[in-house]
Amino acid sequence: MPDTLDQSEIDALLAVAVEDDGDEPTPEYAPAARPIEREISPYDFKRPERVSKDQMRTLEAIHDGFARNFGASLSGFLRTIVEVRVATIEQLTYSEFIHSLPNPTNFNLLRADPLEGQLCLEISPLIVYPIIDRLLGGSSSALFIPQRPMTLIELRLIRRITDRALTCLTEVWSEMVPVKFSINEVESNPHLVQIVAPNEVVVVVGFEVKMEPRTGTLSLCFPFNVIEPVMAKLASQGWLAYQRPVAMKNVRDAIEESIHPAEVNLTAYLAETTITVDDLINLRPGDILRTTKPASSDLTLQIEGRSKFRGRLGRYKAARAFRVTQPATGDERL
């Protein structure tokens, strides 16, 4: 075909151009659509986020329970108020986690059978030494924090704290997977410990431990390859099925254990009556006070000023005794 147009073809093209000379272009000659704007978020290949936000929220909920139980256990053991709360939870590389720790510190390598691999539990010297001072009878108000590795005696004392932490940790995790946490090794320099590759992703849960007037930190490090087999159970919907009621049995047991050695005052009342001040001044040994209570009726036993039981006076071996016969109502007269 020839490359030139004849007159009829030129006229046809001009006619089309005149008819379509308006605001709206013809579909054949419409400009290209504007590209769709998409939100772009940066992604650091050195720090891949392998744990979803839902799974991170579930881990936070699990360790909220651990913080409450551990705080109650420490309060009963140290006989003072200890507050433990989740401060941070984030994904890091193992190298970043290690370089964020002080040196020396209390660095514990843990096992979580039957999961394979090791975990880390680090307790800051800022709270370790006040706890040791408290165990030895000090007040820790003007305590100097030494910059040295812990002695064998100090390690033995702080082991009583870490054992309680692992017991609480086992309890909260066992609601989801059957695991048992135990200490594998204790180090003072975290830079000498290499449990995973430096660029391996770890989940670090940071806690704030407050024991007036001191505050310190506690960190739990979970390498992803250790908890990967149970990640499917960390969905928020699944975690609701594993949660206990607010009044959890282990909390009740911890409170019960802490109040067992507490001493209370018991008072057995024969009766009550009224006398004049003159009679009171003139009372002598052998005088008899008359009451309206029959001699055959039970006596009332009060505990810390509250009527709890009724019973009879007697003798056990060479000592006076009180035999409980029935509970007492709180509003009955003595």
Same domain, 243 and 216: yes
- Residues whose CB falls within 8 Å of the CB of residue 126, separated by 6 or more in sequence, listed in order: 145, 214, 215, 216, 217
Residues 235, 298 within the same domain: no
CATH code of the domain in which 98 resides: 3.40.1550.10
Host domain of residue 114: 53-259
Residues 223 and 84 grouped into a single domain: yes
State the DSSP H helix or E strand holding residue 307, giving kind and residue range, or none if neither. strand 306-316
From its phi and psi, is residue 106 left (phi > 0), alpha (psi between -120 and 50) or beta? beta
DSSP alpha helix (H) spans, 175-232: 224-227
* Residue 110 DSSP SS3: strand
**Considering its fold, how many domains does the chain have in total?**
2
Q: What is the pLDDT of residue 85?
A: 92
Residue 48 lies in a domain: no
Residues of the chain falling short of pLDDT 50: 26, 29, 236-238, 241-242, 244-247
pLDDT in the model for residue 44? 59
Both 180 and 65 in one domain: the answer is yes
Q: Does residue 108 lie in a domain region?
A: yes
Q: Are 314 and 322 in contact (CB under 8 A)?
A: yes
Q: Quick one: 209 and 119 in the same domain? A: yes
Edge-first strand order for the sheet with 106-113 is 82-93, 201-211, 214-223, 119-123, 106-113, 180-187
Residues 274 and 217 in one domain: no
Give pLDDT tens digits for 75-111. Answer: 988 888 999 999 999 998 999 999 999 889 999 999 9
pLDDT at 242: 47
Residue-wise pLDDT for 162-178, tens only, equals: 999 999 999 988 888 88
Residues 277 and 130 in one domain: no
Residue 46, in any domain of the structure? no
Q: Note whether residue 23 is domain-resident.
A: no
Do 237 and 302 have their domain in common? no
CB 270 within 8 A of CB 89: no
Residue 188 C-alpha from the chain's centroid: 25
Q: Output the pLDDT for position 169.
A: 92
The confidence score (pLDDT) of residue 109 equals 93
Answer yes or no: pTM beyond 0.75.
Answer: no
- pLDDT of 247: 46
CA-closest candidate to residue 234, choices 67, 104, 3, 59:
59
How far is Cα 236 from Cα 56, in angstroms, rounded to an integer?
Answer: 9
